């Protein structure tokens, strides 16, 4: 069964360092998303991506964050200068028809720990 | 402000028993409501999706109900198993004509014991 895959599963970094989280969405999907979940809290939307551009982003997704689909398969989230409060589980998701319709498939997550 | 509230926050039941989880929402304009199961440290997995016109949907031992008038939903788990131990998240989608407007609840942490 097709699945969304994410790497790394866990990354530890020093405050101020750049981090890139990678995702391979399901191959025929058109909409891609990043969410985050701080330990013990609810899942929060970061950004959605369609047709090679950001379609929507939340207040969390400030200038420190960027997304890219460099090669037609990978979908990356970059955090330029990590802060302690960026420590969270980051989930990539994808679907075929947009978040408002149809099932959204999540990856297993990348746990980011900022020291 | 769009909000999704879930209750109870946590629940412990014995294997084989049934349970019902609740979700109340104030999301507008309503598009659909989803229930996800999230195992600890894993990504959420979809259980059901219901639109405005659907008031019940089943997926195996999971049955979700929706009352769009009162803006309430429930997830009923029948004959619970140890593997049902997880967080169950209610997610409500607001129709915006495009883009993402999913509002997540904080989840109900279910533990099934022998």
> Is residue A86 helix, strand or coil?
helix
Per-residue pLDDT of chain A in tens (115 residues, 90 and over written 9):
779 999 999 999 999 999 999 999 998 898 999 999 999 899 999 999 988 899 888 899 999 999 999 887 899 999 999 999 999 999 999 988 766 667 889 999 999 999 9
Pick from B96, B99, B106 the residue to mutate for testing the A interface (most A CBs within 10 Å): B99
User: Which of B101, B106, B107 has its CB closest to that of A100?
Assistant: B101
A41-54 burial, b at 16+ Cβ within 10 Å, e below that, comes to: ebbbbbbbbbeeee
Pick from A9, A100, A105 the residue to mutate for testing the B interface (most B CBs within 10 Å): A100
- Given this model, what pLDDT does residue A2 score? 77
**In A, which residues are within 8 Å of B101 by CB distance?**
99-100
Whether the CB of A59 is below 8 Å from some CB of chain B: the reply is no
DSSP A103: -
Contact indicator for A37, A86 with CB cutoff of 8 Å: no
- Given this model, what pLDDT does residue A97 score? 75
Per-residue pLDDT at B30 exceeds 60: yes
Beta strand residue intervals within chain B, DSSP E: 3-7, 10-14, 19-26, 30-38, 45-51, 56-59, 62-67, 72-77, 86-94, 102-104, 108-113
Distance CA A110, CA B50 (A): 29
| Residue B5's pLDDT band (cuts 50, 70, 90) | very high
């Amino acid at each position: 069964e097709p699945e969304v895959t994410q790497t790394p599963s866990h990354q530890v970094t020093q405050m101020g360092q750049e981090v890139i989280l990678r995702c391979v969405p399901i191959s025929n999907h058109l909409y891609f998303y990043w969410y985050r979940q701080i330990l013990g809290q609810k899942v929060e939307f970061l950004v959605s991506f369609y047709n090679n551009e950001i379609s929507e982003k939340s207040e969390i997704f400030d200038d420190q964050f960027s997304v890219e689909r460099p090669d037609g398969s990978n979908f990356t989230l970059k955090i330029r200068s990590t802060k302690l409060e960026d420590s969270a589980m980051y989930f990539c998701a994808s679907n075929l028809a947009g978040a408002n319709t149809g099932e959204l498939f999540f990856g297993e997550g990348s746990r980011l720990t900022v020291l | 402000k769009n909000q999704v509230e879930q209750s109870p926050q946590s629940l412990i039941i014995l294997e084989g028993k049934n349970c019902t989880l609740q979700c109340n929402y104030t999301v507008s304009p309503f598009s659909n409501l989803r229930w996800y199961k999230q195992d600890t440290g894993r990504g959420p997995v979809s259980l059901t999706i219901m639109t405005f016109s659907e008031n019940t949907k089943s997926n195996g031992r999971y049955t979700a109900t929706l009352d769009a008038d009162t803006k309430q939903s429930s997830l009923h788990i029948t004959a619970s198993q140890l593997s049902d131990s997880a967080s169950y998240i209610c997610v409500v989608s607001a129709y915006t004509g495009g883009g993402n407007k999913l509002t997540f609840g904080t989840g109900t942490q279910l533990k099934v014991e022998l």
